[in-house]
Amino acid sequence: MRTVHTSDVVRTVRDLFIRANYELPPCICERLSDCFRVEQEEPAKSMLGVICENAETAKRERIPICQDTGMAVVFAEVGQEVHFEGGLLRDAVDEGVRQAYRDGYLRKSVVGDPLGRVNTGDNTPAVLYTELVEGDEVRLYALPKGFGSENMSRQRMFRPTASLEDIIGFVVETVRIAGGNPCPPLVIGVGIGGTFDYSAVLSKKALLRDAGVHHPVYEDLEEQILQAVNRSGVGVQGLGKGVTALWAAVETYATHIAGLPVSVNISCHVTRHASAVL
């Protein structure tokens, strides 16, 4: 049994959300730069240049990449041999988010009651997903999720007879409906299986995977989705020219014989995530 003090969780969550909001993952920066180099069409090339410059400036000046610094989503993989000391994990995560959004001068965008619409003033509570795993470590993933893209996400309960083409078509339809609203080029998370709600969690979890790292089974499906989306005609910032998506990631889970849940979680080119191990 290993003891982890929740003060370490607070510090780590704080640092992760500040870093994620200031620095795009290198894999996303590389894909944006590659798209800029090969793009021939204006104004798509010009817009990609601005996007790359914005990311470089944010990292250099230590300022947020986007004005929407997101709702704080945390995935915590907790080893079964870990004992937390100093308080609840949930409270520590929220305190880390609170400190990050205060100290990092990040926009506070969370309302405490979804209908009352009163801002909590500190971007808490976070959305926390906890999974028990083997070992004595805690792995924390921070994903600040902006709602310009979150609002464009969709879910569909397919019949179990649905084909891969049906699923790909649903993803492309979702991207076309979104148009320029989620600030393409996009990163697309696709969750297949589980239940109605769990497919959505899978699609969010897919966004944590670095661009270039494929699903061990569904690499071909990921490539087909990406190619189909990039033939959709949406283009950079919805201008109809250039790349529509940088990456598509699929996560799957077992499901019921009578159903095939599929969720599509849209993320803008500012697909922010950071992780650490305690």
For the chain, the average pLDDT equals 97
* Element at 260 (helix H, strand E): strand 260-267
Q: What is the pLDDT of residue 238?
A: 96
Rg (CA), the chain: 19
DSSP at 125: S
Backbone angles phi, psi at 179, to 5 degrees: 60, -130
Strands 138-145 and 71-79: antiparallel
- How many angstroms separate the CA atoms of 168 and 229, rounded? 9
Q: What is the residue whose two structure tokens read 């690499």? A: 219
Q: What is the pLDDT of residue 246?
A: 98
User: Can you give the residue ranges of every domain in the chain?
Assistant: 2-22+65-145, 147-271
SS3 call for 31: helix
Task: Determine the longest span between alpha carbons in the chain, in angstroms.
Answer: 59
Backbone angles phi, psi at 111, to 5 degrees: -105, 140
217-238 residue pLDDT tens: 999 999 999 999 999 999 999 9
Do 238 and 154 form a contact (C-beta atoms < 8 A)?
no
| Global pTM value | 0.96
- CATH classification code of 147-271: 3.30.1330
- How many angstroms separate the CA atoms of 17 and 6, rounded? 17
Strands 127-133 and 71-79: parallel
* Beta bridge partners of residue 26, listed in sequence order: none
pLDDT in tens, the chain (278 residues): 999 999 999 999 999 999 999 999 999 999 999 999 999 999 999 999 999 999 999 999 999 999 999 999 999 999 999 999 999 999 999 999 999 999 999 999 999 999 999 999 999 999 999 999 999 999 999 999 999 999 999 999 999 999 999 999 999 999 999 999 999 999 999 999 999 999 999 999 999 999 999 999 999 999 999 999 999 999 999 999 999 999 999 999 999 999 999 999 999 999 999 999 99
